[in-house]
Structure 1
Amino acid sequence: MDKNQLGIEMMKEGKWEEAAKVFMEVIEANPNDAVAYVNFGNVLSAVGDPERAMKFFEKAIELGGGGAAYYSAGALLYEKEQFDEAKKMFDQAIKEGLHTSDNYFMLGMCLVQLQTARLALPYLQRAVELNPDDAEALFQYGLCLAQEGLLDEAISQLHKCIEIDEQHADALYNLGVAYAFKENKEQALSYLDKAIEIQPDHLLALNTKAVISSSDNNVN
């Protein structure tokens, strides 16, 4: 196992100081090792030092670190809510050949945050195609479809989400809303009840259930 891989294993175990030491040894031995700069930046980001982390990502990009360097920089910018700059990084990561589910997902999420859900759709779709077991990607894709009025497609993706994570209260809530729009009150209330059972303080689910129940009472 090379030192970069050793450091990554330490990161997985939460041994941040040990990982940082290993990556610094790699950088000292080979100052042009872009991968080590990315890895060291990821350690700094994980321990709450985003400013220094970005300097290492920028150095990795300068050294030709490829998609991984742009992805890590994008993730850091996303956390700082600099969504337009993050989007540029994830887009560049794709151009550099990083065709991973995570990268497409994060690019899609940037576009969602920038209030351009329609533009996010193909990226979120690609993310779930590459990783069909990612419950959060399925949820966000379903949510995006719903926002664009594609209810049947949204319901399909949200069902896939809760098949993987049956405790996903937000997915259950949004299924309830989707069925309410389709005027299937029985199904809507069923999913809203499940969301509330999992998260009793889910205000959106509670309020939506109250509105649907009130409309039933008014009809009666």
Structure 2
Amino acid sequence: MRIAEKIHQIEKSKGGNCYLVETAEGLALVDTGLPGNSDAILRRIEEIGRRREELKYIALTHADLDHFGSAADVRAATGAKIAIHHDDVGELTGRTPRRKLRGFVGLFFSVAARFFKIEPVEPDIILKDGDRIGGLLVIHTPGHTPGSISLFHEESGALFSGDALLCKLNGKFRLPREGIALDPDQARRSAEQIKAHGFKILLPGHGRPRIERPKA
């Protein structure tokens, strides 16, 4: 699905939302969802008239399985480089124990961990606040996880927020539910930081995009 000029959402992906961005450097993929999404991602690349080898970057907003689950498979198929913030490298590689989540979300991840074989993923690029990757500005928005990031596409005004700021079905903002944010206070501060950024389109890790209307 085409969201905006040069921005496409991967339809029928499982887990978190996945987005393709066409940039001067090639294609960038923001998140990969759960394991098993690689075919849908590769198919969408072909549907927009590009070759899989044109995918240069896989930018992960954080190291939860429903966002990085297909990263290794997509890298193997395209040669793209996987990038993640320094503070989430440990969970991505398996060198740091995964945080325990409460409630329904915790149950989901517990079941998913049994159903999917979670392979450690070694990133190719370690990100920090203010970096640029594939035409995207990295904004460190911790709270949900220590290394959660948002990515700003200046050309379109689109901001990819991962799980740092979500949208309800009615388009209203929503913070990650209690029990899944490692630091709820920090998560609230990061959400306010995102709201104040001045984006035109918010592309969250779950839920629908939110388009900001110009103020009269």
The answer, yes or no, to whether TM exceeds 0.5 is no
Point out the structure with the larger strand share. 2
Rg larger in 1 or in 2?
A: 1
Normalised by the shorter chain, which TM-score bucket? Answer: under 0.3
TM-score (ref. length: structure 1): 0.27
Point out the structure with the larger helix share. 1
TM-score (ref. length: structure 2): 0.27
Higher relative contact order (CA 8 A, sep 6+): 2
